[in-house]
Amino acid sequence: MSKKATLLADKSFILSEIDNRIYGAFIEHLGRAVYEGIYEPDHPSADSQGFRRDVLDIVRSLQVPIVRYPGGNFVSGYNWEDGVGPLAERPKVLELAWVSLETNEIGTNEFADWAKKANTEVMMAVNLGTRGIDAARNLVEYCNHPSGSFWSDKRISHGYKEPHRFKTWCLGNEMDGPWQIGQKTAAEYGRLANETAKAMKWVDPSIELVACGSSGSGMQTFAEWEATVLDLTYDNVEYISLHSYYDNKENNTENFLAKSLDMDEFIKSVISICDYVKAKKRSKKQLYLSFDEWNVWYSNNGSAVIDRWQVAPPLYEDVYSLEDALAVGCFLITLMKHAGRVKMACIAQLVNVIAPITTVKGGTVWLQTTFYPYLHAALYGRGTALQPVITSDKYDSKDFTDVPYLEAIAVHNEEGNTVTVFAVNRCLTDSIDFEADLRSFGEIRVIEHIVLEHEDVKAHNTAFDQKRVAPHSGGLATADSGKVYAKLPKHSWNVIRLSIV
């Protein structure tokens, strides 16, 4: 027996214009993300700089707007000067965050080149673990100042006459975590971040800065950390970061697919803290959120089970199933629902390391199940997020009550004269008879109804079976008098694209 659910979305009830940067990604010097991921000079598809063109083609197809780099935990021990200048002079160093050997073949300039080839922007991170104000301001000078100073002229001598003009910068990474090189208290970090922010903006007043929030809502210092850090940095930063990862290690799929409700509450909590500090300071400035690490993450194959000091060891290479793709779809819808305050977000990570794209050394590149909701959101989730009014059958799970079987939102793209409905059916046993009321747009017609489904919610792709779980356009959505009718298959991701007649 089918479940029932409805969505009402009116073009006059706008949540927010969506900042395309919520479909960003993350590449860290971790595992095979850089070496054997985006960069493999001996690969048949490698370009003149050693970048894999097959990976570049896929990244361009995603239209990724921004990529966070170079970390992550890596950045807290990174001397950026090691990664610039002649390759022969760059040191090989012991990389403590991931117990690997860093060759520094890829550094700031090479990544800037890759980003241009990928048609994306760079969200640069500075080291506030082992370093601080001086290294950060010098890096901004090196990257963004045109010429006539020591570090800008050094960049020019390295073959880059034009500045990179990186706009967005992260002030360290997860500085509350005991795993972090140079862990700090909130007061220690807040003071350093604020003074670093001031110096960086004195070099380039056009940049925008992201302060470190908690490493996750489960940290004992969560909320107090944000309040203290923002009390110290509010006037000199534009964003505070959120990080969150989810898994289904308990093999409870219903509970797992409800975890986007946790993400929703996390976002609401951080917004509340931002607004508390704003009120406390009697400020007119609105602070925004950068959810710059989020994903499904299972594996524990970290440095403890890998020989130490390897170059690009295979770390955290999760293989994702259909249920993981559905969870990713729910997370993306949650980000769209909060587009008014979440202006940037990065799926972590992009290639090989807990990633939607996986490469084989010397061989093929293949797409994980999670690639597809990310692709669809990045392509069709651009425009204005509309307030969703949802009625749905519900269920209770281990950690959540009144979980709607339907998770959905509608996005209006005025320029393209389209409306796109994104919908996840969380039910494992039944389809949903779905009705969307979009009558405020007048007559509409269905362009296509994309469905990602499989009988087995645990089904996944591999390098040898790359299309086992792949989307099709065989969904049966219809439109009549401004309403959309569809049957959403059990445990499925759905994208219903509509044109406004």
By annotation, the residues acting in catalysis are: 174, 293
- Determine the Cα–Cα distance for residues 222 and 269; give it in Å rounded to an integer: 10
Task: Please give the radius of gyration of the chain, using alpha carbons only, rounded to the nearest integer.
Answer: 23
DSSP states of 185-217 as a string?
-HHHHHHHHHHHHHHHHHH-TT-EEEE---S-T
| Other CB atoms within 10 Å distance of the CB of residue 369 | 26
List, in order, residues 6 or more apart from 469 with CB less than 8 Å away. Answer: 321, 322, 325, 369, 452, 454, 459, 460, 461
DSSP letter for 83, please: G
- Determine the Cα–Cα distance for residues 133 and 195; give it in Å rounded to an integer: 7
| Other CB atoms within 10 Å distance of the CB of residue 128 | 26
Residue bearing tokens 């985006």: 38
| Other CB atoms within 10 Å distance of the CB of residue 475 | 20
DSSP letter for 396, please: -
Label residue 23 exposed, middle or buried (CB < 10 Å: 0-12, 13-18, 19+): buried
CB distance 170 to 78 below 8 Å: no
Query: In whole angstroms, how far apart are CA 38 and each of 28, 35, 96, 155?
Result: 11, 7, 22, 23
